[in-house]
Amino acid sequence: MKIQIIRCSKPGYWYAGLVDTTLDAVECGNGDWKVRDTDGYLAFINKSDATVIGWDEGIDKTESITSDGSTAAYYELPSKAVELQDLISYKNMNAQIGEIFRACYRYGECSHSAELRDAKKIKFYIDAEIRRLEE
């Protein structure tokens, strides 16, 4: 996956001078991208400081896609996606949207989470996302 550093939230981070640089991301977890730095070493970038710009095939996910009414490219799955987290990372979902996506995917299938609990969880996170967008 290719990510582009779009900002640096703290001046002391190793990538402070690399805004607008594109790097290969190894994975995303716990709010950080794991990347190979410009010298080839593994390093971390705060997820909010970078955006996904491509997934192996070089697809640019920063541009909007227009549909002609038939199936659109934004419904195509990335070739290397093997689990839900791969799709969440590929689409650069924030925490709220990721939780909604997970809850919708497992809706009513998980023994510790009945449909009503899942529906309430979805509502909680969508309300949080709406508040974030309205700010």
Tens digit of each residue's pLDDT (9 = 90 or more) over 22-42: 888 876 666 688 887 777 777
Q: Domain ranges in the chain?
A: 1-63, 93-135
d(CA 28, CA 135): 26
The residue with greater pLDDT, 81 or 94, is: 94
Residue 6: what residue type?
I
pLDDT for 121 beyond 70 = yes
The residue with greater pLDDT, 118 or 68, is: 118
Task: Return all residues near 58 (Cβ < 8 A) that are at least 6 apart.
Answer: 2
Residue at token pair 């730095």: 37
Interaxial angle between packed helices 115-134 and 95-105, expressed in degrees from 0 to 180 and rounded to the nearest 10? 160
Instruction: Tell me which architecture the domain covering 1-63 has in CATH.
Output: Roll (2.30)
